[in-house]
Structure 1
Amino acid sequence: MRAAVIDLGTNTFHLIIGDLADKDPKILYKTTVPVLLGQGRINENMIIPEAFERGIRTLKAFKSIIDEHQVEVVRAVATSAVRSAINGQEFVDAAQAMGIDIQLITGDEEAAFIFKGVSALGIIQRTSLIMDIGGGSTEFIICNEDGLIWKKSYDIGAARLMQAYFHADPISDAERNTIIEVLDKTLGDLKAACMQYKPEMLIGSAGAFESFAILLNNGEDIGDIASMSLDIKAYEKLAERLLTSTHEERTKMKGLISLRVDMIVIAAILTNYILDNIGLHALSLSMYDLKMGVLHATKEQITSKAG
Structure 2
Amino acid sequence: MKCSVIDIGTNSIRHLICDVENDEIRQIKKDVKITRLGESVSRSGKLSNDAIARSVSTIKEYLDDAENYETQRIYAFATSAVRDAKNSSYFIDELLNIGLDVDIIDGETESLYGYLGASYGIKKNDVLVMDVGGGSTEFSYFKDELIKRSFDIGAVRLTEKFIKSDPILLEEYNNIRLYITDMLTPFISDNQNMPKEIVGIGGTITTLAAMSQDLRIYSRELIHGYVLKKGDIKRLLDLMMSLSFNERKLLNGLQPERADIIVAGTIIVYTVLELLNCTSITVSEWDNLEGAVVEKFIRGNDGKKITNSDVGK
Q: TM-score, normalised by structure 1?
A: 0.91
Distance apart, 1:224 and its partner CA: 2.9
C-alpha distance in structure 2 between counterparts of 1:122 and 1:209, whole Å: 15
Distance apart, 1:87 and its partner CA: 0.9
Aligned twin of 1:171: 168
SS of the residue 2:286 aligns to: coil
Aligned twin of 2:12: 12
C-alpha distance in structure 2 between counterparts of 1:227 and 1:98, whole Å: 37
Count of aligned pairs: 300
CA deviations over 1:224-277 (Å, ceiling 9, x no partner)? 323221233223222221222221221111121012212110011111211111
Structure 1 segment 262-277 matched on structure 2, within 5 A: 262-277=260-275
Q: Which amino acid in the other structure matches residue 107 of structure 1?
A: G
Contact persistence 1:83–1:104 (CA under 8 A): yes
Contact persistence 2:81–2:135 (CA under 8 A): yes
Aligned twin of 1:213: 209
SS of the residue 1:169 aligns to: coil
Aligned pair partner of 1:183 in 146, 165, 180: 180
Structure 1 segment 16-165 matched on structure 2, within 5 A: 16-124=16-124, 126=126, 128-143=127-142, 148=146, 150-165=147-162
Contact persistence 1:219–1:253 (CA under 8 A): no
Structure 2 unaligned residues grouped into runs of 5+: 303-313
SS of the residue 1:199 aligns to: coil
Contact persistence 2:212–2:232 (CA under 8 A): yes
Aligned twin of 2:307: none
CA deviations over 1:74-122 (Å, ceiling 9, x no partner)? 1000001111111111111211122100000000100011000011124
C-alpha distance in structure 1 between counterparts of 2:6 and 2:149, whole Å: 22
Aligned twin of 1:247: 245
Contact persistence 2:233–2:270 (CA under 8 A): no
SS of the residue 2:174 aligns to: helix
Contact persistence 2:122–2:284 (CA under 8 A): no
Distance apart, 1:178 and its partner CA: 1.6
Q: Residue 295 and residue 180 in structure 1: after superposition, are their counterparts in 2 closer, same or farther (change >3 A)?
A: same
SS of the residue 1:20 aligns to: strand
Structure 1 segment 219-230 matched on structure 2, within 5 A: 219-221=215-217, 223-225=219-221, 226-230=224-228
Contact persistence 1:132–1:206 (CA under 8 A): yes
Q: Which amino acid in the other structure matches residue 192 of structure 1?
A: S
RMSD: 2.0
Q: Which amino acid in the other structure matches residue 85 of structure 2?
A: A
SS of the residue 1:170 aligns to: coil
SS of the residue 2:47 aligns to: coil
SS of the residue 1:6 aligns to: strand
Distance apart, 1:123 and its partner CA: 4.0
Contact persistence 1:201–1:281 (CA under 8 A): no
CA deviations over 1:144-187 (Å, ceiling 9, x no partner)? 6x763x22111111111101111111111111122122223211
Structure 1 unaligned residues grouped into runs of 5+: none
